[in-house]
Structure 1
Amino acid sequence: MAAKVPSVTFNNGLTCPILGLGTWQSNPGEVTRAVSEAIDIGYRHIDCAHLYFNEKEVGEAIKEKIKQGIVKREDLFITSKIWNTYHRPDLVEKAVKISLSDLGLDYLDLYLIHWPMAYKEGSDPFPSDANGKVIYSDVDYVDTWKAMEKLVEKGLVKSIGVSNFNSVQLTRILNAATIKPVTNQVECHPYLNQTKLFDFCKARGVTLTAYSPLGSPQRPWAKPDEPSLLEDPKVLSIAKRLHKTSAQILIRYQVDRGIIVIPKSTSKSRIAENFNIWDFSLSEEDIKAINSLDCNGRLIPQAEGREHKDHPFANPDIIF
């Protein structure tokens, strides 16, 4: 019997498993098997997005596991994200219906604004001019948010939130919201531990969700001389003492902070390894040692759209 994953309670009273499976950079040919194996192992939270171009394959795994009687739809927590080209309010419902259709679902448990920047509307996810620069749209993400709220009212999604929003942007949403965002999903790992943003969100009833918690070791733009979080001496030392892997330490680090964590893998053994973190916890000293690794080491810079007025971390005056 697989361990039951603890849940986090959102500000709307709904719950979300604190550990989920990420699907970014999971190839369509691999992701159906990975999601299927993850559900067998005990995962109930699957993090998806329109931009990952694999929601149909994720949906195939969900459908098969429900058909087999392994899970019911209500046992699962499925997240998706609206892409930047759908920010215009009249396109928001269309966007969620595309994801619902691809996933084969009637509703999403959580729908996020993937990034605060709006791009030119159309079928190209990265519309660009003759010089290769992304073409922007002037849609305000607050207007997108108001359209997201209507999705909750229509029963298409249970909860709504944001991703990659800084504290200033989140404040604008909170001030305008009828329905508060339940989470802000951001890059978060010991080199970028997001303590200030975490405290900011927590004080306002917004849960933090950590993507790339292992330091995104497979990111295509990684440089040979960049440090590897999984091979960091402090992380390795704690892992050795507790007879765990570095990945298990890094995932447990987020769980012990109360942060939802969504490590990505398509390897069955690693998916299982990442799940098996419930028989230990980190001491305050361990957390302190891992926190000391923070160096504002952002590994997902989102170079596209960096000149957009709403890019979340291109403005050096906004510190978190």
Structure 2
Amino acid sequence: MTLRLAADQADRAAALLRAGDLVAFPTETVYGLGADARNARAVAAVFEAKGRPHFNPLICHFPDAEAAFAEVLPDARARALAEAFWPGPLTLVLPRRPECRVDLLAGAGLDTLAVRVPAHPVALALLRAAAVPVAGPSANRSGQVSPTTAAHVQDGLGGRIAAVLDGGPCEVGVESSVLDLAAGGAALLRHGGVPVEAIEAVIGPVARPIPLSTAAASRSLRSPGMMLSHYAPSLPVRLEAREVASDEALLAFGPPLPGAGAVWQMSDARDPTEAATRLFAGLRWLDAEGARLGLSRIAVMPVPMEGLGAAINDRLTRAAAPR
């Protein structure tokens, strides 16, 4: 059963978030599906509730700019944009700080993080009460229309999440603009609530989004979910491993294959949700440990396509793609 909480019950919604539950909340753009971004299992539950086929990076929400910039490294452009548009429908993609508290799964294993401060009083009350980074994609089933009322959320996710915090209809009704500042330039990844011309009035020229097919073909854009091969470890990745050699590192799912030079267990119980929470950390650890030991590649045991297995396999296919 999904609770319908009134706008003045932000404290109760915050307690649910801190306990690892999922809570939909209003923003000025659309309703977001909130999870404690520090909690890998809660973040995995977001993908599961949405039926999201890919581990795309999730936008993390904060009550103010300084809370956001405690997790990422802003430059002068980011601070100027925050001054101009936060709270508001602009998301900035910036490098993660070394001490960033946000779980790797929320950022899809990238060394960047998408952050914003929403312009909605109920959302800000929730974020202040929760006092944690809140990951929040749109609160709808993947592929369906984004919700702009609490009733929309109930129609799509009722019974799948703990609660929806009802803040009335959303004012903007389209998602935030997403701007990547992480690589030194400025690239718009998604058109949204802040026109690109308004962004350029603050920081100068901004590169426009390129078509998804072009991004996949070029494999050159640091853009969430747009490249065929991205977020890949430096060691080659071999999928569907039924046996493993001593010069290979093993990403295990269930009882590990014998003989590997190093092993990271995603889920001994073969639980896709648990595996999702450990996937990105495992690839990073095996990449570093494999390089330290002089191993040749990372072998990956098969993961069924059921549940979050589809998203895990999507990520692994991208990691193993030719570079």
TM-score where L is the length of structure 2: 0.27
Structure with bigger RCO (C-alpha 8 Å, 6+ apart): 2
Higher strand fraction (1 or 2): 2
TM-score where L is the length of structure 1: 0.28
